[in-house]
Amino acid sequence: MLLAVVAMIFLVIFQIAKASEYVNVLKGEKKSREQANRINAFLMLGFLVVGLAGAYWCHKVLEPQTLFPQGSASKEGEQIDFMFKVTLTVTGIVFLATQICLFVFSFLYQEKEGRKVFFLPHNNKLEMIWTIIPAIALTVLVVIGLRHWFKITGDPPKNAMVVEITGQQFGWTYRYPGADGVIGKRSYKLINPEANNGLGQDWNDKANLDDKMPTKMFLVKDKPVKLVIGSKDVIHDVGLPHFRLKMDAVPGIPTTLWFTPKWTTKEMRERLGNPDFEFEIVCDQLCGQSHYAMRGVIEVLTQEEFDMEMAKVKPNYFAAFPDKDPANQKPAEAAPADSSKSVTKAGGAPTGKTSR
Residue number, 34 or 280, with CB nearest to Cu ion: 280
**Hey, what amino acid is at 328?**
N
Applying CB under 5 A, the span of 26-34, 173-181, 203-211, 278-286 interacting with Cu ion comes to 278-286
Residue number, 19 or 286, with CB nearest to Cu ion: 286
Write down the least CB distance from residue 285 to Cu ion, Å. 6
Write down the least CB distance from residue 111 to Cu ion, Å. 56
Write down the least CB distance from residue 287 to Cu ion, Å. 3
Residues 6+ apart with CB under 8 A from 79: 148
The correct pick among 219, 227, 287, 343 for binding Cu ion (CB under 5 A) is 287
Q: Pick from 271, 231, 265, 266: which is nearest to 251 by CA?
A: 231
Residues 6+ apart with CB under 8 A from 294: 167, 170, 171, 172, 236, 281, 282, 283, 287
Applying CB under 5 A, the span of 7-15, 73-81, 213-221, 277-285 interacting with Cu ion comes to 277-285
Residue number, 165 or 301, with CB nearest to Cu ion: 165
Q: Pick from 221, 213, 319, 234: which is nearest to 279 by CA?
A: 221
Q: How far apart are the first and last CA of the chain?
A: 56
What is d(CA 231, CA 354) in angstroms, rounded to the nearest whole number?
18
Sheet holding 161-168, edge to edge: 171-175, 161-168, 225-231, 255-259
DSSP state of 261: B
Write down the least CB distance from residue 56 to Cu ion, Å. 36
Total residues contacting Cu ion (rule CB under 5 A)? 4
What is d(CA 117, CA 128) in angstroms, rounded to the nearest whole number?
24
Write down the least CB distance from residue 243 to Cu ion, Å. 18
Residues 6+ apart with CB under 8 A from 160: 223, 224, 225, 226, 258
Question: What mask of x and - would describe binding to Cu ion in positions 115 to 154, judged by CB under 5 A?
Answer: ----------------------------------------
Residue number, 217 or 287, with CB nearest to Cu ion: 287
Residue number, 294 or 300, with CB nearest to Cu ion: 294
Give the bridge partners for 239, in sequence order.
246, 282
Write down the least CB distance from residue 172 to Cu ion, Å. 9
Residue number, 293 or 335, with CB nearest to Cu ion: 293
Question: What mask of x and - would describe binding to Cu ion in positions 224 to 253, judged by CB under 5 A?
Answer: ------------x-----------------
Residue number, 52 or 250, with CB nearest to Cu ion: 250
Number of neighbours of residue 270 by Cβ within 10 angstroms: 12
Residue number, 14 or 292, with CB nearest to Cu ion: 292
Write down the least CB distance from residue 294 to Cu ion, Å. 5
The correct pick among 247, 281, 283, 301 for binding Cu ion (CB under 5 A) is 283
The answer to the question of residue 217 lying near Cu ion (CB under 5 A) is: no
What is d(CA 206, CA 183) in angstroms, rounded to the nearest whole number?
10
Residues 6+ apart with CB under 8 A from 101: none
Write down the least CB distance from residue 241 to Cu ion, Å. 15
Residues 6+ apart with CB under 8 A from 135: none
For 2-18, b where at least 16 C-beta lie within 10 A, e where not — what string?
eeeeeeeeeeeeeeeee
- Give residues 294-323 in contact with Cu ion (rule: CB under 5 A): 294
Write down the least CB distance from residue 174 to Cu ion, Å. 15
Write down the least CB distance from residue 291 to Cu ion, Å. 5
Applying CB under 5 A, the span of 56-64, 175-183, 240-248, 281-289 interacting with Cu ion comes to 281-289
Binding site for Cu ion (CB under 5 A): 236, 283, 287, 294
